[in-house]
Structure 1
């Protein structure tokens, strides 16, 4: 199907269970051998480990354990590291029971009598270390600290809970494994180095998926400079059904390390649903090199060259064939959307790739900078091909929800970035049924107006007028009846032969007759 035909983007959503549904469900349910796992520590820090081999996972002061102990554990549950009781033994992991939320009792205690300084804490660091060496649990250490805290009873009940929580973050040998989903990966990378994901926040990413109309069975062009995070989130939403084409600025395959090494997707699913091109091969004038058509290459294909070299040649030819196939897939058009998250100027990308999008397809651009998107929005507003170009900023604020202590967190990110969204439409009048219908209606309305003016003039001034319907063809090729008026009016004769001497002029048409509406009345004016 030609890409310039006004075919609306079809929703290829399938209700049939997909071949990867089970694998996608397992990747966020239990830890498997070979998975990447994010460990959330009591100190709010995060650490990513690979469940492979016989190595030991070290969490610093929170303890260590063999990585094999993670296999089969459920995500989202807090586990305690139980130190071995015998020398040379290995630590084990024990799931903790969830704490219930209880109502706190109001007391008359305030914090005004609490003095500053370390003298309030009578348990020395040496004593704390001795308790650790003896194998005391975090709860035992905290209980001893509270018992020796001279001002603990003077604190409000809320301050006491905050004190306990701070001590748990310091002494608890616990962690919580998190599945490598979009929220956890964004939190992990934003805490480590935000430019890796361009400072994107989870609510902004969710808005991108919504504006892009990402659904199972869809086909999308993606410019991803976030390590494959955009592609991974879209694949998760698509359920392994559909197609994603990534375009990069490198000749080698794109570096999608987050997608390939951290999201635990089946390799077979990635091979079936993703493909890539670089900007050079996107050009329609590009031709592949002819280094595979030499006599040596042809001899290798026939088996006349050594095995190792023959294998390399076959791989190279297979890669070229796959590249040509991907180019044909791009040029065939009818893609359901274009998603951009890269540091390059967005309009040049939209201008180059929008011709391959289907009608009613979505265009979504992410940028951490507002000015970049407002400049593109101003350009898109002047072009009829793009509908409703809008720049939005999402807002997210996390709250602590506890009895009598519900409030927003005091620290949070200032922004999660900005999104430009638009809808691609066909602006060609010959292929737009909406524009063609409106044009025909305008022509018919103009014809009715001219006929009414002619009838009003004929009735008011005694002018004999006749209207004959002719066929006029507008630019859209729609045939519309139009009234052309001919009239005969008395004209002062000059005595120069013909009927002019009798004071009657030749028949007039709209070519030499103008109709003017003056204060609601119609008058005729003869053009000289």
Structure 2
């Protein structure tokens, strides 16, 4: 996994995105540092503990705390700092003495005068809190569509237009994204939707044509997936301007007469021009198998521009966080007579905490998953 992105799960449950490169050092802030050579080539999912400043060792990855309910309760347990005999200065001294994180946690637990009075569930939560402060254990995780979504949704959901994973999965399913498909995608979610489609296509077994705003696309999420060249080659892009405006012809030159510096610039410019021309030909040829939209622009104008390039009886799926926007689009579809059975649905998801003996709905969750408008395009309806 040299020169690839990896998600590092920290003891605090926060996630750090790292691009691993040989012979470099990665800093995890207060948790310490490690050398990339120590984990490159190792399996994902192993947990490592940092010791002696920058050395690491594999430890057992405990997914859950095994908790047996003893019947105790917290009725007489008071959360009082005075019950902790170890002071902040004592703990700092233990760190300076080189004591490892797990040993510090044991010391903290042993010095808590009322720890034994807690319920088993309270003990597990207490240990978890102390691990987030003193543990130096980290876990490299392979980037997947779910883990990438989870990272961006927790960090800044507005960048992916507040799209939840259940909404994304519905879009991919309804659009029938699969190998050998040719799909049109209007994506303003930093490439989250594009990434899902590319993963479904599985490489050069299809084409995904992304329509973006501005001169350059902002499909930042795609790079985190470590796709192979075969998968990356399935993506083609066009800006709205390149659809409507004819570019001036490229000035082809004799490459043998160019200097090495000018030749490098010329070849890059030539490749970009030919890529755009190829994408335009594919778009104008039409026959696309579906249209997926998650955009800031009015859906009606997007439909009027791109629907003519779809083959008959093909799905259209549009996402928006606001219902009113899609209500107007649904009316537009019904009036036009080119769309079969437009349906507006709301995405809804309840997240559960699943732990041994402690399965219940999460205490906090997103307020809404946005809305989906789906229909089938057919030019035969009159």
**What is the TM-score of this pair, normalised by structure 1?**
0.67
The alpha-carbon distance between structure 1 residues 82 and 386, as it changes in their structure 2 partners (threshold 3 A), is same
Equivalent residues in 2 for 1:35-114, closer than 5 Å: 35-83=4-52, 90-98=54-62, 102=66, 104-107=68-71, 109-114=72-77
Q: In structure 1, what is the equivalent of residue 297 of structure 2?
A: 344
CA contact (8 A) 1:369 1:417 kept: yes
Contact kept in structure 1, 2:163 and 2:370, CA below 8 Å: yes
Cα deviation for residue 224 of structure 1 reads 1.4
Q: 1:317 to 1:60 in 2, by over 3 A?
A: closer
Q: How does 1:351-500 map to 2 (within 5 A)?
A: 351-427=304-380
1:124-523 superposed matches below 5 A: 124-240=87-203, 241-251=205-215, 253-259=216-222, 261-271=223-233, 273-283=234-244, 286-290=245-249, 292=251, 300-301=253-254, 309=262, 312=265, 316-427=269-380
CA distance in 1, matches of 2:267, 2:47: 51
C-alpha displacement at 1:379, in angstroms? 1.5
Q: Is the 8 A contact 2:84 2:113 kept in 1?
A: yes
- Are 1:69 and 1:93, in contact at CA under 8 Å, matched by a contact in 2? no
1:142 and 1:316 map into 2 onto residues whose CA distance is 58
What CA deviation, in whole Å up to 9, does each residue of 1:441-485 have, x standing for no partner?
xxxxxxxxxxxxxxxxxxxxxxxxxxxxxxxxxxxxxxxxxxxxx
CA distance in 2, matches of 1:224, 1:289: 27
**Partner Cα distance (1:70, 1:310) in 2:** 39
Change (3 A) 1:365 1:324: same
What are the Cα deviations for residues 298-335 of structure 1, in whole angstroms up to 9, with x where unaligned? Answer: xx338666675566556545544443332221111110
Flag the 1:357–1:82 CA change in 2: closer, same or farther, 3 A. same
Contact 1:301 1:310 in 2 (8 A): no
TM-score (norm 2): 0.91
Q: Secondary structure at the match of 1:39?
A: strand
* Secondary structure class of the residue paired with 1:141: helix
Distance 1:291 1:99 in 2: 58
d(CA) in 2 for partners of 1:242, 1:330: 14
Structure 2 gap segments, 5+ residues each: none
Higher Cα radius of gyration: 1
Aligned-residue CA RMSD (Å): 2.4
CA contact (8 A) 1:33 1:52 kept: yes
Evaluate the alpha carbon distance shift between residue 393 and residue 76 of structure 1 in structure 2; reply closer, same or farther with a 3 A threshold. farther
Q: How many residues align?
A: 381
Q: 1:113: how far off?
A: 1.7
